Amino acid sequence: MGELVTRFNPKYNNWGNRISTMSFTLENGLDQLKSYFTLVTLHRYDDGLVVTKAEPLADFINSLLKMEPW
């Protein structure tokens, strides 16, 4: 996703770093969840995301970039 965002607008080349500072991500979720649950498992699926309309994806990316880190 970070590569896609950078291709969308090169000024967002640190998008991945910005997202990782938000309160809950794939990278930090395990540590947060294991405080409340005895068993936490990540299941990855081998499939893909097909984007048929660019505008909703661009809106999503822009909404994340406007958020302040927690």
pLDDT digits (tens, 9 = 90+) for 6-46: 777 777 666 555 555 557 778 888 988 988 999 999 888 88
pTM for the model stands at: 0.41
Residue 53 pLDDT class (50, 70, 90 cuts): very high
70: which residues sit within 8 A by CB, 6+ positions away? Answer: 21, 22, 23
Asked if 23 contacts 70 with a C-beta cutoff of 8 angstroms, the reply is: yes
What residue spans define the domains of the chain? 2-66
Distance CA 65, CA 19 (A): 8
Between 50 and 19, the more confident residue is 50
Residue 6 and residue 13 in contact, taking contact as beta carbons nearer than 8 Å? yes
The residue assigned the tokens 């699926």 is 45
Which pLDDT does position 15 carry in this prediction?
58
